[in-house]
Amino acid sequence: MTRSLVSVPGTARRGDIVDVRAMIAHPMETGYRMGPNGVAIPRRIITRFVCTYGGEEVFAAAFFPAVSANPFVSFSLVATESGTVGFAWTDDEGQTETASAEIVVS
């Protein structure tokens, strides 16, 4: 896999709703294209995205062949405690790319 970009506010007040954004640069392949040798290029897409906050899953998404290259996900969560917001993308081959960001809640 390649690189990921995540955006989480560095600080928030307890109870605030914060916006979370995540994107991964991934060589998405639908499995429908033919290679130069006339053989279909195997499908390789991001199939699952999971976000955790304080060790608990707070958001998850399943992706299918129609997903765009470099999928971008945006959602909100309620800031309850200081901690780590973790991100994990898994592709067809079972490879997982992870990223994390810290948030300080006052």
Q: In tens digits, what is the pLDDT along the chain, a chain of 106 residues?
A: 478 999 999 999 999 999 999 999 988 888 889 999 999 999 999 999 999 999 999 999 999 888 888 999 999 999 999 999 999 999 999 999 999 999 999 9
Q: What pLDDT was estimated at residue 90?
A: 95
d(CA 87, CA 73): 11
Q: What is the pTM of this model?
A: 0.90
Q: Which of 8, 25, 28, 26 is nearest to 17 (CA)?
A: 8
Domains, the chain: 4-29+44-105 (2.60.40.10)
Q: What pLDDT was estimated at residue 86?
A: 97
Q: What pLDDT was estimated at residue 71?
A: 92
Q: What pLDDT was estimated at residue 67?
A: 86
37's torsion region: left (phi>0), alpha (psi -120 to 50) or beta?
alpha
At position 29, the amino acid (one-letter code) is E
